[in-house]
A = this chain, B = another copy of it.
């Protein structure tokens, strides 16, 4: 039987990785102030999240093996999990600057912390570099070392083109609904989120166990990308229709001119008059204008539209999972575990 990891267990691995990273920096005789800065950036930016992405590497590995991981296997899988968290930290630190965000995980964004400012850009780079230091230290002798390197390079680039498309499609200071379309929405969501959040952890587990055959990778991608898309659609839905006490924040997608599933759905069904309501009220930092958009979303029955979408897409995903060929070591349970965590979540 497989075994699920806990956040507490997963977090016990981090200090060892941090130690390895600081030791690596020390080999260059880095001045103490710079070493301490790196240490603080690692701790503040990498630790403290929910670690769903990171924990899904050991969870997937255990499901693939059909048994609990040995201590050594757990350490390797959790290390790969922390690499996905480092990749996310690299993206979040820089995304917060690009989005002029104020808080992250209930604290000021890193670039807004005392004395940091634009040095955060270089800190983001160092978080990314940390991935490759750790891969070299712990996986250099793994038969899939080159595959690990290439996988991180590719997923990094995929996330960057998703970000680029997001940034030029929905600039906060220039509302233009003509930029939006369901096609662009899907591209942004798949590249900006789905590859690194869903495909990457499973691909890492497959490589770690030496069962990353082309067929297994392809099956994983074919299921996890739609699953990641569904996850983001849900995120956009909850931003407007979720309960703040569940999602832990008050949604701001409408005021932030976000290229959200809701506005893109609305655009496909609005009358010309309703479109004018959107044109005049979307993406403005104004509570009344936001309320006008929310009212339109209700008129357009977007809540029901989301629920219909959810049933349809979950049905399709279940259908794909049922057809998974397990002959090369892939397991349906890996995908079922992801789906169970996501389906009808309220937070």
Contacts and interface: CB of A to CB of B under 8 A. Distances in A.
A1 interface: no
Given A149-B149, A168-B33, A25 B129 contact: no
Nearest to A132: B153
A38 to B, nearest CB: 7
B165 A30 contact: yes
A136 B150 CA distance: 8
A86 to B, nearest CB: 13
Nearest to A93: B121
A126 interface: yes
A119 interface: yes
B129 A160 contact: yes
Nearest to A136: B150
B164 A37 contact: yes
A125 B160 contact: yes
Please classify how large the interface on chain A is, using the bins under 10, 10 to 19, 20 to 34, 35 or more.
35 or more
A129 B149 contact: no
A161 B28 contact: yes
Nearest to A91: B125
Nearest to A145: B146
A198 interface: no
B191 A28 contact: yes
A158 interface: yes
Interface string A144-171: 0110011001001110110111011100
Given A31-B165, A129-B157, A121 B94 contact: yes
Nearest to A36: B168
A219 interface: no
A346 interface: no
A187 B31 contact: yes
B168 A119 contact: yes
A133 interface: yes
A289 interface: no
A347 interface: no
A141 to B, nearest CB: 12
Count chain B CB atoms within 10 A of each CB in A136, A164, A165 and give the residue with the most. Answer: A164
Residue with the greatest number of chain B CB neighbours at <10 A, chosen from A34, A126, A163: A34
25 contacts: A28-B191, A30-B161, A30-B165, A31-B165, A31-B187, A37-B168, A38-B161, A38-B164, A94-B122, A97-B121, A98-B122, A119-B164, A119-B167, A121-B121, A121-B124, A122-B160, A122-B164, A123-B164, A126-B160, A126-B161, A132-B153, A133-B153, A136-B150, A136-B153, A146-B149
Interface of A: 25, 28-31, 33-34, 37-38, 94, 97-98, 100, 118-119, 121-126, 129, 132-133, 136, 145-146, 149-150, 153, 156-158, 160-161, 163-165, 167-169, 183-184, 187, 191
Given A97-B121, A122-B164, A149-B149, 20 more contacts: A31-B183, A31-B184, A33-B168, A34-B161, A37-B164, A37-B168, A94-B125, A100-B118, A119-B167, A122-B160, A122-B163, A123-B164, A125-B156, A129-B153, A129-B160, A132-B150, A132-B153, A136-B150, A145-B146, A146-B146
